[in-house]
Amino acid sequence: MTGPGCGFEVSLQQLNDLLTDDSGFYSWPTKHFHEVYPRIYVGNAFVATNVMRLKRLGVTHILNAAEGNSFMHVNTNNEFYAGTGVIYHGIPASDTDHFDISVYFEEAADFIEKALAYKNGKVYVHCREGYSRSPTLVIAYLMLRQNMDVHTALAMVRQKREIGPNDGFLRQLCRLSQRLAAEGKLWNK
C-alpha cells in the first residue's frame, strides 16, 4: 500500500513547500480572483456577490465552496443569482482541519466539468477568501478529471494564485492522489 511519496506527513510537507516561498511564508492572494486553469477562476466572496463583475468576466457557473450563513461562510444561493442566467451550486464547507471536504470532491468535479462543457462556459469557484476551500475543490477537479497527481495539480493552481489549503484538506487531497494512483488513473505515474 505504501509506495514512494505515500507517507502523509512527507506529502504534506512537500505540498506546503509548494505553497510557501523560500522563507516558508504563505502569501495572501494579490487579486480578488485568478484564472487558475482555462475558464476556471478561483476567487473571493467580493466578486461572487458582484453580479455585474461576474457578467463582465463572462462567468456562466458559480461554485460556492463556503455556502452558509456564519461569518466563515458566504450566504448566497440559487435565489441570489435568480434571473442572472448564472448557474449556481453550493457546498457547505468549513475551513477547518477536521472538516471532511473530500465528500464533496466528486460533486464539485462534476459541476466544474459540466460548466466547462457549456459553450463558452466559465466557472467561478469561490469561498470567502479564495484561499483554502475553493482551491481545494479545483485541485480535486484537476486530479479527478484531468488525471493530475496532487503535486502537479496543486503547483498548477499555486502558479496562478496565492493559496493555502489547510493541512486537513491537503491530507484529503493526498489520500485522493493515492487512491487514483492505485486505480491507475494518473497520467504521470
CATH number where 170 lies:
3.90.190.10
Residue 179 inside a domain? The answer is: yes
Total domains, the chain: 1
Residue 148 lies in a domain: yes
SS3 113: helix
174 is catalytic: no
Give the residue numbers spanning the domain of 144: 32-183
Residue from 74, 127, 142, 181 carrying the catalytic annotation: 127
Q: Do the domain assignments include residue 11?
A: no
Per-residue tens of pLDDT for the chain, all 189 residues: 344 445 555 588 899 999 998 888 999 999 999 999 999 999 999 999 999 999 999 999 999 999 999 999 999 999 999 999 999 999 999 999 999 999 999 999 999 999 999 999 999 999 999 999 999 999 999 999 999 999 999 999 999 999 999 999 999 999 999 999 999 988 754
Q: pTM of this prediction?
A: 0.93
Annotate 139-175 with b (16+ C-beta within 10 A) or e (fewer): bbbbbbeeebbbbbbbebbbeebbbbbbebbbbbbbe
Report if residue 119 sits inside a domain.
yes
SS3 99: coil
